[in-house]
A and B are shown apart, each in its own frame.
Chain A
């Protein structure tokens, strides 16, 4: 636009407006095959998710040529929660959508917003350990998509081999191993407090040990009968974090290390052990494909070598909102996701990053070592426990700040646990849970 000839101004402004409005009109319309019905699927924007979602959509379309699945994406975290809630509240949700299971699932008001899937034939394929985390009242509402994960320690097998170490079954063995690694000049435990959520694993990943010591912990916790600060098993997570810090076992720059940098240290053997979610495996696979099979996995160790259970994270669910007009098509798609063809299609797209929760789904032989390490725990129900967030709606928002403080020696384990209990109280009161007021 040129500013000198003053008279042209209105003309230019007017024509630009007109032209743009015409363009708007064009872009609002959309082409479409009149025979094929299109359903939309809202997924989160992780590289991994999008890749398998597109593959699922493609394979489903190949099996059902009259239905097309279109992928929509949303961010993760708080923004993503808001989008899901907003779109449900305004009746504008996609025909099917993926969302978390467990406590976040309870927050989207399933009984009011979702179509129950309890009697559907394909629900028989869904693993029984998955159903409770997508259930509200008497009904179940979702099918699993993606794989199960673990909150555990990823370790570099090469470092362990060089030093002749074996996988620890108890906390004492873990500390002993760590001291040996430290003496050899390698960082024993990697921590990455620049990315704060990674600091929580000592506490969250320890839950299987808590549940092994006290099988009713989750229920009692929801009912405000036990506390992290006073339960001798539960406070262990905080204490272990403090102990590891005091023993100087962390990498020197733990306060400023980011999550990707921590993964680099682990892959290159600059650090030996990294307590993290196994969600890290897809990232390791993309960034460090050659080192992927040097990485193994073991549960965060507790006191009892006989139990040594793994804390598992269940995959997200795919749900059917009441607002959809294409219920039949959407149900066909859900059936496809909860079938062996569905898992195979995901494996083909992204490889298996953990076990599936659909009956009859086998993993290929070339899964990463860390996934192989995970499998025995998934197969035996006595050797795993879902993380606390799948069993109880009570989870305070400030845990990551508190664990950073405890892990940096700013706050003691006892204070940290007490502070977390106070943080949780606010959350529980907001949810209006019985026993908290």
Chain B
């Protein structure tokens, strides 16, 4: 009896908790998103009496001259490019830091930690961007996202690389492998699990970033998906049905990504957790 409770009870409990924590909010969101405005404003967890999925969808999509479409393109570029740069750059930095000891190491380590500790300030950052001619460009925002994420990624990669035996590098060098080839052909593929971790963690945070595009990339043509939420929410009037429809739409890409890469993500996370 106790064994059975242990076997099923824990499982059922876990499912119940998951349901309450994840499924109920998602359901709530979907329900509000298909209601009409008057009903949605009540914010009740109830079955909609008046389905207006198509109207809401069209209105959200076409609001502010199809801003959501622009925003999806911008956000995709931002996320993909930033994460790609982060992965390659952070892995390279971490590898060099881990393998080549020099007297600069403490300073570099300090700078990396400083990136985690010191909070970024908005106005000086804008001055730097203006000086470089990158303000109000997507490239500028990509650099900002890379700068904000790189410390964390380097730490992750470093911890993982320390578990790769140095003999592997040496063997490759003896076989006549140059440094670039050594990195891309030998080291980089070994980092697969931690790369997945970095990709997942950073894509989610970059896709969801709100303050950075708000301040560093002003202008409607530059909107990212999170900023489109502001189209439907304000202090005196809020169209909850459209707001939730918008949230639903921008939740879909990460959800789809998770469905497809589910297995790799879990494997990557646990690998990172044990070794990193």
Interface, chain A (partner B; CB < 8 A): 3, 6-7, 9-10, 13, 16-17, 20-21, 23-24, 27-28, 30, 40, 44-48, 50, 70-77, 79, 82-83, 86-87, 89-90, 92, 197, 258, 260-261, 263-264, 277, 279-280, 282-283, 286-288
Q: Are B236 and A46 in contact (CB under 8 A)?
A: yes
Closest to B193 in A: A3
Q: Are A282 and B219 in contact (CB under 8 A)?
A: no
Q: Is B220 an interface residue (CB 8 A)?
A: yes
**B residues near A, CB below 8 A?**
37-38, 41-43, 64, 73-74, 77, 80-81, 84-85, 87-88, 122-123, 126-127, 130, 135-139, 142, 184-185, 188-189, 192, 196, 214-215, 218-221, 230-240, 264
Say yes or no: A86-B240 contact (C-beta < 8 A), given A3-B264, A16-B80, A17-B84: no
| A263 partner residues in chain B, CB cutoff 8 A | 41
Distance A23 CA – B235 CA, assembled complex (angstroms): 36
On whether the beta carbons of B37 and A286 are closer than 8 Å, the reply is: yes
The smallest C-beta distance from B239 to any residue of chain A, in angstroms, reads 7
Q: Given A50-B64, A90-B123, output 18 extra A-B contacts at Cβ < 8 Å.
A: A6-B189, A9-B188, A13-B88, A16-B84, A17-B85, A46-B235, A46-B236, A47-B234, A72-B219, A73-B64, A77-B235, A92-B135, A92-B218, A261-B43, A277-B236, A283-B237, A286-B239, A288-B38
Report B39 CB to chain A, min CB distance, Å: 10
**A264-B38, A287-B37 known; A28 and B237 CB under 8 Å?**
no
Contact (Cβ within 8 A) B42 A261: yes
Nearest chain-B residue to A47 (Cβ)? B237
Q: How far is the CA of A83 from the CA of B218 in the complex (A)?
A: 9
Closest partner residue, chain B, to A45 (CB atom): B230
CA distance A288 to B237 in the complex (A): 13
A288 to B215, CA, bound (A): 36
Cβ 8 A contact of A20, one of B42, B77, B192: B77
A86 engages B81 (CB within 8 Å) = no
Q: A24-B81, A287-B37 are in contact. Are A86 and B142 (CB under 8 A)?
A: no
Contact, CB under 8 Å: B220 / A287: no
Contact at B220–A71, with CB atoms within 8 Å? yes
Question: Does B218 contact A46, Cβ atoms closer than 8 Å?
Answer: no
- State which of A9, A71, A76 has its C-beta within 8 Å of the C-beta of B235: A76
Q: Closest chain A residue to B79 by CB distance?
A: A20
Complex Cα–Cα for A370 and B135 (A) = 46
